[in-house]
Structures are given as structure tokens and as C-alpha cells.
Structure 1
Amino acid sequence: MLKGVVSLVTGGASGLGRATVERIVREGGRAVICDLPTSQGAKVASDLGDSAIFAPTDVSSAEDVEKALAMCQDKFGRLDVAVNCAGIGIAVKTYNPKKKLPHSLDDFMRVQRVNLGGSFNVIRLSCGVMAENEPNADGQRGVIVNTASVAAFDGQIGQAAYSASKGAIVGMTLPIARDLAPLGIRVCTIAPGLFKTPLLMALPEKVQNFLATTVPFPKRQPW
């Protein structure tokens, strides 16, 4: 199913993104790993051989994403699939009564910039590249997969910023799918639950433990 498919995966150096890249390459596809310059992206690409390349990318930067797409075209000749896995999260309540501090607006907007703005940035730039593909027998020229979260629908304490960003990704999916359908580009969004990724493990242990209790079965701990 993935043989010969050329994909661009953001957040591809770790977690869900890395697992996606490894699956694509394992099944005969090729992948551009987009992640921060400080990530393990170069090593992941090296380990996977000629079927993968690393493009240092801040997904919220138009220039970075354009460079990554150019690398994709130069190396593999086209782009069939874009997978948005890059994301950040924070665990902060809307108001801290002990410190009498409201949630930082800068922190809230930073999460929106990366998770929501970064996803849209990749979508808006990658669809033009896909539109140049010859359509297959079904008229399809490309596929865009976004990553939301169960937090988009069932956010927990301290997840206002994260849930807002993921809910917005869900909200923009259908209109974008309708925008791009005439071009033969499919757009869909997944909403993963709780599993072990660097994003989750970066949260305070107390928050990890609480989130684990929200999963009825099977239990998510010990990791």
C-alpha cells in the first residue's frame, strides 16, 4: 500500500512521527523527516538509508517548510502524502490561585503557533506541490493527514492550550478537505489517545499519572 509513496512527515524524529516514518520506509515508501535542527532527525534518516532524508524544520516557518518541500522534490521528484505530527504541549491551569497567576498568554499562543499554525502552514504549502501530480485511477493526487488528539474532545485539567490547538485542527479539517477535493487531495485528521511519546514524558510525573487514570482499559502504566 505504501510502496513507492513519497511522504513528508513533521515531527518525524520521535514519537508518532518517527513511527510513521519507519512504517513508510519499511513498506517500501520514501520519507522526508521534518523536525527541529536539534532533534535526532539526521540520525533517524541515516539509519533508514536512501529512502529517507532529514529536513531541519520549524513547522511554523514558511521558509523552513518551503525548503523541506524543495528537498523532497529534488530528492524524490514529487510529494504524495503529508503527515502532520509535530506538536508541543504544556500542563498549566487557567488560573493558579496559590500564586494568584493567570495562564501565560504567550505560552498559550506558542502552543497554537506550533500545533495549529504549523499544521496549517504545512497543509497550505504542500497542497500546491501535490496538485502538480498526475491523478491516479480514482482522481487522487495526494493525501494530507493531521494529528489532533482525544484532548480535542475530552481535555483534562491543565490542557486548555493543548486542547484548544487540537480542537482547532479538528475544526479546520472539513473545510480544508472541501477546499482541496476539486484538486484530488484528501484531507483527514486522527485523534490518538494516550501513549508513550516524548511529548507525554515531558509532562510532570503527577500529570502523567493523572492522565493514565483516564484510560479505562487497558491500563497505560507502567510505561
Structure 2
Amino acid sequence: MSGGASGLGFATARRLHEAGARVAVLDRDAEAVARVLREWPDILALTCDVAREDALAEALTKVYERQGRARIAVACAGVAGARRLVSREGPMPMTDFLQILHDNLFSSFNLLRLVASDMSTLKPLGRDGERGVAIMTSSIAAFDGQIGQIAYAAAKGAVAAMTLPAARELAQFGVRVLALAPGLFDTPLLDNLPSETRAALAQAMPFPRRLGDPDEFADLVLHCIGNVALNGEVIRLDGALRLPAR
């Protein structure tokens, strides 16, 4: 799984490990990868920018050699980014926009295309002949993008938009594709916010009136893996939150 060394990805990697899966974590944060290895020596954790074609292909070769070929792929790699389309400094630089796409969209697409290609050649399993499942991470910003989130919303919206056509294309191989769209979760992305701001965000949640727990995201990932009828869907996990304009 990508982005598995922190936040939602870390919680999901831990839950998969507890469930008995042979887990491989890919993350570009070398220090976070080292922490994963200290905690779980039997997990394969590699430092890798999954948006880079050559880097991910090389990492997946190591994963398949060590942990076996993947039937489950979870794409959690991504970063938040806020910048207005037009500010006092002028229009948003294209480099800023492309960097957000690189981190949040290209990383998901690159993992999806490579693992789906390999999954399509695996032996089918069970009564339905399933070969594998890929679960990507979108965001409620894909639907409720706020002021300053134009690049992030575009990236997460593209992840959501890829889900159905990918599921339709890969259905012939018995490979499912899903995307989860989390709302406000208690992850390192929010660690730098003042406590008052975190409390205000929690109060904005209709119910439950708190930030999401990363384990709840991991629970949904495991349910998606086990429920073969789920396919081609973008699932919001947000406590009924709808983001305001700002």
C-alpha cells in the first residue's frame, strides 16, 4: 500500500497486518518508513515516490519477490495543499498545481495501473473468480472543495472520477476498483493546527461530533476488501459533513 507509514495509511497497514495479510508499505518519508520497520519487522517497508513510474516499478518488483504478488492494493499517498487560484501574488503558479496533482492524483493512478496489470494475470479465486481489488483515497473535497483548495479538489475529484471507468474496464479480469472519500480525520495533517481550530473542526461534524478515527477508515477498507459486491463506487466517510465555501 502507498502512503502507509503515517495517518490513514498507517492505520490501514496495521489493520491488514493484524488480519494476517502480508503487508508492503511504500512511502516517500524515509523516517516514517524506518518507524514502521521498527514496529513491524515482518512488514516490507520501502522509501518510494509512488508517482514516479520507474521508482514504483522497481519497488513493486521487490514487493512481489518478498511478499508475493498483490491481490489487494490501497492507495493512501497524498498531501494537503492550499493556494488560491488568484492571490495578491497573481495567478497560482503551474508548478504548484502540478505538484498537488503529482502527490495526490499521479501517485494513485501510477499504483492503480501497475498493480491492475499484474492482478489481471493472477489465478481467479472463489465463486466469482475475483483476482484482486484496488482501493484509492479521494476526499470530500472532491465534492465540497473550499476556497483555496482548487488544486487539491481537482486531484481528489479526478481520483473519484477514475473509479467507475477503471472498475468497468477491469471487470473482465475480476479486479474491483473503489475509492474512499474521507472527511476530517485525526491524522498528522491536522497536527500543526491550534487546539481551538481542531475543536472547531470537530464541532462542525454533524455526528459523531468529533474528528474521524483513522481506525474507522481502516475498518471500511477491510469491509471493501471482503464485500465483493462493492465495485466502482466512491464511498464518503464523513459523519454527514458538507464543507462550507471557506
Q: What's the TM-score, normalizing by structure 2?
A: 0.78
Q: CA shift at 1:132, angstroms? A: 2.6
- 2:179 aligned counterpart, secondary structure: strand
Q: Which residue of 2 aligns with 1:128?
A: 117
Q: Which residue of 1 aligns with 2:80?
A: 89
Q: Give the distance between the partners of 1:104 and 1:211, measured in 2 at CA.
A: 29
Alignment check: 8 A CA contact 1:91 1:203 kept: no
- 1:30 aligned counterpart, secondary structure: coil
Q: Which residue of 1 aligns with 2:191?
A: 201
Q: Give the distance between the partners of 1:140 and 1:117, measured in 2 at CA.
A: 26
Q: Give the distance between the partners of 1:182 and 1:75, measured in 2 at CA.
A: 28
Alignment check: 8 A CA contact 2:44 2:67 kept: no
- 1:40 aligned counterpart, secondary structure: helix
Structure 1 18/61 Cα, relative in aligned 2: closer, same or farther at 3 Å?
same
Q: Is the aligned partner of 1:114 residue 2:106?
A: no
Structure 1 204/220 Cα, relative in aligned 2: closer, same or farther at 3 Å?
same
User: Aligned runs of 1:19-58 on 2, under 5 Å?
Assistant: 19-50=11-42, 52-58=43-49
Identity %, equivalent residues: 43
Match of 1:139 among 121, 129, 132: 129
Structure 1 131/59 Cα, relative in aligned 2: closer, same or farther at 3 Å?
same
- Ranked by relative contact order (alpha carbons within 8 Å, sequence separation 6 or more), the top structure is 2
Alignment check: 8 A CA contact 1:11 1:85 kept: yes
Alignment check: 8 A CA contact 1:33 1:45 kept: no
Question: Can you give the 5+ residue segments of structure 1 that lack an aligned partner in the other structure?
Answer: 1-8
- 1:49 aligned counterpart, secondary structure: coil
Question: C-alpha offsets along residues 8-53 of structure 1, whole Å, 9 cap, x if unaligned?
Answer: x100000000000000001111111000153411321331232x11
- 1:132 aligned counterpart, secondary structure: coil
1:124 maps to a residue whose letter is R
How many residues of Structure 1 are paired with residues of Structure 2 in the alignment?
211
2:9 maps to a residue whose letter is G
Structure 1 79/35 Cα, relative in aligned 2: closer, same or farther at 3 Å?
same
Match of 1:104 among 93, 109, 121: 93
Alignment check: 8 A CA contact 2:24 2:67 kept: no
Q: CA shift at 1:218, angstroms? A: 3.3
Alignment check: 8 A CA contact 1:55 1:71 kept: no
Q: Give the distance between the partners of 2:81 and 2:193, measured in 1 at CA.
A: 7
Match of 1:12 among 4, 7, 12: 4
- 1:169 aligned counterpart, secondary structure: helix
Structure 1 207/172 Cα, relative in aligned 2: closer, same or farther at 3 Å?
farther
2:177 maps to a residue whose letter is V
Question: C-alpha offsets along residues 80-115 of structure 1, whole Å, 9 cap, x if unaligned?
Answer: 11100000121222222xx35322221111101121
Match of 2:58 among 47, 57, 67: 67
Question: Can you give the 5+ residue segments of structure 2 that lack an aligned partner in the other structure?
Answer: 214-246
Structure 1 41/27 Cα, relative in aligned 2: closer, same or farther at 3 Å?
same
User: Aligned runs of 1:143-222 on 2, under 5 Å?
Assistant: 143-202=133-192, 211-212=201-202, 214-220=204-210
Alignment check: 8 A CA contact 1:148 1:189 kept: yes
RMSD: 2.2
Q: CA shift at 1:203, angstroms? A: 6.4
